[in-house]
């Protein structure tokens, strides 16, 4: 059984919480006492129906205002797969939460209200899916019950979205007409949508091929810590512990340690305390090298056959996540996996309108929820890949040293 992480995105009333509630409910992942609590909460409202959206609105502030204000994670499983859902809110001001959820996702469900068609928020969510390179997209055309399950309405929306997908180079897009409220095409195929020949949403989530989504070609491994027990029995033991970000490492492979550039050969590999002949992404590992090289936390061990970029200057996309705006010339800490370095934003080149992808001139500071292209300079060399090519080694965060907040998502270009 494998694991699929996905995110749901939609505008405020597209029925996202209802969809998640429905997936959990119809796949029998909601338990009796949770359902009873739900019924108790619903009784205070006017209509008598159980409100499935209440299953996911976790915090009291949200329950009172009836909105979702932060990313929440939900878990369910079927016989075929375990699923982790990042439930990110649809409000304009919470783009930051969606980017957070999307950074973990292998698939995105974009909800479209059948009565509204493709709207500004649909474009924004699709642009974020494209920027963050989410491998699979499901366009769920929701509220089909409110348009009499009309085939033409659905097809018109599909055609409209195909233009968006083409513009954004989104591959692997699937389309499914659903009603989250009524349960059409969620778990079972709908009896109302006879003209639709595809599978139900859950069926699609269970079957979509995800094993090729990890890059096994370009091997990257960043050292999280050096393990040196320094006991009598393990006197000379020196292993580099970290997670394989991408690719495969085998005993005997020629490697280059970066940024120093020192070369060596893998002499031993351990994972989970056991020796292994190979490790691959995303396994944790302890790697031993044949030569004594000075290696510390944050250094990269790459297979010599395919090396990442090494530079103190880089072009990046910044997704700004803090109330305090970005000021050109400001200094931040840049954290790339486990490596923290000082960085300065040398120049902000342009802003990207997340609704149209248009490049805009920068005439003021970059604010919360805005995306900008910039060049940065770091105090010591960074070892990275372009996000587009290898996202596991192409991402970082910016930290404000005075508040310690995470202020931006960084995508290397």
Partner 1 sequence: MSNYQLDYLEQLEAESIHIFREVAGQFEKPALLFSGGKDSITLVHLAMKAFAPAQFPFPLVHIDTGHNFPEALNFRDALARKIKATLIVREVEDTIQQRNLTEPKGKFPSRNWLQTYTLLDTIEEFQFDCCIGGARRDEEKARAKERIFSVRDEFGQWDPKLQRPELWNCFNGKIHKGENVRVFPISNWTELDIWNYIRKEKIELPSIYFAHDRDVIANDGQLVAVSHFIKPSASDTVVTKKVRYRTVGDMTCTAAVESNASTLDEVINEIIATRISERGETRIDDRVTEAAMEDRKKNGYF
Site for partner 1 in 41-80 (CB under 8 A): 41, 56-61, 63, 69-75, 77
Q: Number of residues interacting with partner 1: please give it, by CB under 8 A.
A: 72
Cite the DSSP H helix spans in 132-255: 151-167, 201-207
Inter-residue contact 226 to 240 (CB < 8 Å): yes
Contact residue for partner 1 among 282, 304, 342, 380 (CB under 8 A): 282
In the complex, minimum distance from the CB of residue 337 to partner 1, in angstroms, rounded to a whole number: 6
Contact residue for partner 1 among 158, 168, 174, 248 (CB under 8 A): 248
In the complex, minimum distance from the CB of residue 358 to partner 1, in angstroms, rounded to a whole number: 25
Nearer to partner 1, 33 or 197 (CB): 33
Element (H, E) at 126: helix 120-131
Q: Does 397 bind partner 1 (CB under 8 A)?
A: yes
Q: Does 236 bind partner 1 (CB under 8 A)?
A: no
- Number of neighbouring beta carbons within 10 Å of residue 8: 29
Residue 234 C-alpha from the chain's centroid:
40
Closest CA relative to residue 133, chosen from 112, 164, 102, 100:
102
Using omega within 30 degrees of 0 as the cis cutoff, is the peptide bond preceding 282 cis? yes
In the complex, minimum distance from the CB of residue 3 to partner 1, in angstroms, rounded to a whole number: 4
Q: Does 405 bind partner 1 (CB under 8 A)?
A: yes
Residues near 53 by beta carbon (within 8 Å), at least 6 away in sequence: 15, 17, 18, 21
For the chain, what percentages of helix, strand and coil (3-state, to nearest 5) are there?
A: 20, 35, 40
Site string for partner 1, 178-217 (x = CB under 8 A): ---------------------------------x--x-x-
Contact residue for partner 1 among 131, 303, 399, 412 (CB under 8 A): 399
Q: Does 406 bind partner 1 (CB under 8 A)?
A: yes
CA distance 6 to 206: 12
In the complex, minimum distance from the CB of residue 331 to partner 1, in angstroms, rounded to a whole number: 15
Contact residue for partner 1 among 42, 51, 78, 84 (CB under 8 A): 84
In the complex, minimum distance from the CB of residue 208 to partner 1, in angstroms, rounded to a whole number: 14
Nearer to partner 1, 258 or 411 (CB): 411
Inter-residue contact 11 to 112 (CB < 8 Å): no
Q: Does 224 bind partner 1 (CB under 8 A)?
A: yes
Q: Does 99 bind partner 1 (CB under 8 A)?
A: yes
Q: Does 82 bind partner 1 (CB under 8 A)?
A: yes
Site stretch for partner 1 (CB under 8 A), options 100-108, 287-295, 353-361, 374-382? 100-108
Beta bridge partners of 243: 222, 284
Q: Does 252 bind partner 1 (CB under 8 A)?
A: no
Measured in residues, the chain has a length of: 413
Place of tokens 């233009």: 163
CA distance 221 to 242: 7
Q: Does 350 bind partner 1 (CB under 8 A)?
A: no
Say whether 261 sits in a helix, a strand or coil: coil
């Amino acid at each position: 059984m494998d694991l699929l992480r996905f995110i749901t995105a939609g505008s405020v009333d597209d029925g996202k919480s209802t969809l998640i509630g429905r997936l959990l409910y119809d796949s029998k992942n909601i338990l009796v006492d949770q359902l009873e609590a739900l019924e108790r909460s619903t009784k205070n409202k006017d209509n008598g129906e159980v409100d499935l959206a209440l299953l996911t609105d976790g915090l009291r502030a949200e329950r009172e205002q009836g909105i979702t204000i932060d990313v929440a994670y939900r878990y369910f499983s079927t016989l075929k797969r375990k699923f982790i859902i990042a439930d990110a809110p649809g409000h304009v001001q919470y783009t930051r939460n969606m980017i957070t959820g999307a950074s973990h996702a292998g698939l995105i469900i974009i909800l479209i209200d059948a009565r509204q068609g493709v709207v500004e928020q649909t474009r924004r969510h699709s642009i974020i899916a494209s920027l963050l390179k989410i491998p699979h997209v499901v366009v769920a055309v929701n509220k089909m019950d409110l348009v009499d399950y009309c085939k033409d309405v659905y097809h018109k929306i599909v055609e409209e979205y195909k233009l968006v997908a083409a513009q954004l180079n989104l591959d692997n897009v699937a389309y499914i007409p659903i009603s989250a409220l009524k349960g059409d095409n969620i778990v079972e195929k709908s009896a109302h949508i006879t003209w639709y020949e595809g599978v139900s949403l859950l069926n699609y989530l269970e079957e979509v091929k995800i094993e090729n989504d990890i890059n096994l070609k370009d091997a990257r491994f960043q050292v999280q810590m050096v393990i040196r027990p320094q006991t009598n029995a393990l006197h000379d033991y020196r292993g580099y512990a970290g997670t394989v970000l991408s690719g495969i490492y085998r005993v005997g492979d020629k490697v280059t340690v970066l940024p120093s550039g020192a070369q060596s050969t893998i002499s031993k590999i351990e994972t989970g305390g056991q020796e292994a002949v190979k490790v691959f992404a995303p396994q944790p590992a302890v790697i031993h090298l044949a030569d004594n090289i000075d290696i510390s936390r944050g250094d990269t061990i790459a297979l010599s056959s395919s090396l990442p970029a090494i530079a103190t200057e880089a072009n990046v996309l910044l997704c700004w996540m803090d109330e305090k705006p970005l000021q050109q010339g400001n200094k931040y800490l840049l954290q790339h996996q486990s490596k923290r370095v000082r960085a300065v934003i040398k120049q902000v080149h342009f802003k990207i309108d997340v609704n149209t992808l248009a490049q805009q001139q920068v005439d003021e500071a970059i604010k919360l929820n805005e995306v900008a292209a910039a060049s940065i300079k770091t105090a010591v060399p960074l070892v990275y890949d372009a996000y587009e090519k290898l996202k596991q080694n192409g991402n970082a965060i910016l930290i404000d040293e005075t508040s310690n907040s995470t202020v931006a998502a960084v995508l290397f270009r």
